[in-house]
Amino acid sequence: MIYTKLVVSWREGLHLRPAARLVNLAKKFSSSIRIHVGERAADARSIMQLLLLSASLGTAMLIEVDGQDETEAASAVTEFFGNSETTDSGSQANRGS
């Protein structure tokens, strides 16, 4: 399992267009990709769940990737958002927000 801390750096936040691109990106991988914002979490394959996160400019997110191609998926999501701090582990200590 890989956890990556990211910050939304787009002025408009995670709105419809980038959310749709993220959904398409997530569907390329077999791994589970979850986006956490505070107490809320979204499956990266669900545009509605992503939009309900209300991730605006500067919002801190924790990306959780688990599965056979987790390394590639985590790298792709990190590249998509353009910034990161990644840790490799199943430990809950790495989920600090």
Catalytic residue among 9, 12, 15, 48: 15
Q: In what order do the strands lie in the sheet with 2-7?
A: 40-43, 32-37, 60-66, 2-7, 85-88
Strand partners of residue 4: 63, 86
Both tokens of 65, joined, read: 């990737």
> Helix 70-81 and helix 16-26: axis angle, to 10°?
160
Q: Are 42 and 49 in contact (CB under 8 A)?
A: yes
Q: Is 15 a catalytic residue?
A: yes
Residues carrying an active site annotation: 15
